[in-house]
Amino acid sequence: MPVTQGTSTGKTHVNDRQIGSRTNDADPGAFVHEGLFYAGITDYLAATVPFVLDGLATGEPVAVAVPGPNLERIAACLGDAAAEVRMIDMTVAGRNPGAIMATVLTRFIDEHPGRRVRIIDEPIWAERSANEYPACVQHEALVNVALAGREATLLCPYDTRHLEPTALLDATRTHPVLVEGGHRCASPSFHDPLRLAAALDVPLRPPPETADVEMMVFDANIGARGVRRFVHEHALRAGLDPERTANLRAAAHEVALNTLVHTGRPGILSVWVEDGHLVCEVQDSGSITDPLAGLRPPEPFDGDDPRGSGLCLVHGVCDLVRTHLTGHGMTIRMYVRLGRT
C-alpha cells in the first residue's frame, strides 16, 4: 500500500513502557483504543481470538470489523462462539473510511446502552489506495475524540509484514496504547488527535491530465436540482449502474444544498472519471468548523429540521469522500466506483 503520511525507516517495536492488563486499565466509562502490530496470521489470531473470547466470557457484546479473509479466519477459530459475535466485512462496511465511525463503531455501541463493548476495528490493510489512506488515518485519530467517554474497547490490527513503515508509524500516533507479541505499552508517539487530523487536511491532487473534466457553476437559480441533473447525466454517460447513480446524485445534492444554504454564494461542480471511479467535486466559499462533521451520526433533532445529517449521508453512500479546507473556502470530493468490485 503506498502511503504518504509520516516518515520511518524500519519496523516499529512496542515492547517497552509496558502497562497493566486491559481489564484493569479500562475504568468504567473509559474508552480504550489499542493498535495491534502483528507479523503473520499466527500473530494475528493469537491476539484477536483471545480478545473476542475474553469479551464473551465477561458478557461484553463483541463485534469484529475486519477485511473478509481475516474475518473468515477469526470465525473459523471461534467455532460455535462466532454466532455470538457481530461479524462485519470491513471491505464492504468500511469501503469509505469516513463512514466507519457512524455505521460500524457508534452504531454497535449505541445498540448496547449501559454495557461495555469490544470491537476489532481494522480500517487499514495493504490493498488500501494512497488516495484512501489519509482518510483512514483521520478516522483513527478522530476516533479518540468521537468515542471519548464511551464504554468501548477498540483493537486495531496493523500488518507489519505488508504495510509500509509509514503506516506503522502513523499507528503509533493515533493509538494511545500499542500491543505487540503479547506486550502492551503506552505509545510514546501518540499525537493530539485534532492536530493530527488537521495536519492531514492537505490540498487534493488535481484530476489526471487525461481526464475529461466537465464543470458547471451553480447558484440559487440553478439550485441543487440542477446539480442532480448534471451529475445524473454524467453518471449515465460513464456507465454507472442505477443504484450508484442514485447514490452519487443524492450526495451531490446534499453538498450543493449546503453550499447554497450556508454560503449564499455560487459553487463550482466538477465531474470526471479517475481510477475506476466517477468523481464529483464541489468547491465553495464555505467552511466546516467541526472536524467530526459527517463522520459520526447527527445529533437528534426536533421537528423536521435534519441539520447535520447531510454530510453523514454523503459518507454513507460514497465509496470515498475527501475534503480540503483553505482560508478561502473548501472542497468536497466524492468517489463512487464504476464497477462492483
Angle at 196 between CA 194 and CA 202, to 5 degrees: 110
Burial of 121 (0-12, 13-18, 19+ CB in 10 A): buried
Tell me the H-state helices in 148-192.
165-174
Task: Estimate to the nearest angstrom the gap between the alpha carbon of 167 and the chain centroid.
Answer: 15
CB 52 within 8 A of CB 118: yes
Q: Within 13 Å, how many C-alpha atoms sit on residue 223's CB side?
A: 2
Closest CA relative to residue 36, chosen from 155, 153, 197: 155
Band (pLDDT 50/70/90 cuts) for residue 2 is: very low
Residue-level pLDDT at 5: 37
Band (pLDDT 50/70/90 cuts) for residue 288 is: confident
- Complete edge-to-edge strand list for the sheet that includes strand 320-325: 214-218, 267-274, 277-284, 330-337, 320-325
pLDDT at 141 over 50: yes
Domains in the chain and their CATH numbers?
Answer: 22-199 (3.40.50.300), 214-337 (3.30.565.10)
CB 139 within 8 A of CB 98: yes
Rounded Cα distance between 180 and 35, Å, is 9
Q: Look up residue 309 and give its DSSP letter.
A: -
Rounded Cα distance between 154 and 293, Å, is 21
Residue-level pLDDT at 54: 98
C-alpha grid cell for residue 200? 492531514
Band (pLDDT 50/70/90 cuts) for residue 74 is: very high
Write down how long the chain is: 341
Band (pLDDT 50/70/90 cuts) for residue 148 is: very high
Rounded Cα distance between 170 and 254, Å, is 32
Residue-level pLDDT at 341: 53
For 229, residues 6+ apart whose C-beta sits below 8 A from its C-beta are none
pTM over 0.75: yes
List, for residues 76-92, the tens digit of each pLDDT value: 999 999 999 999 999 99
CB 200 within 8 A of CB 139: no
Helix (H) or strand (E) holding 284: strand 277-284
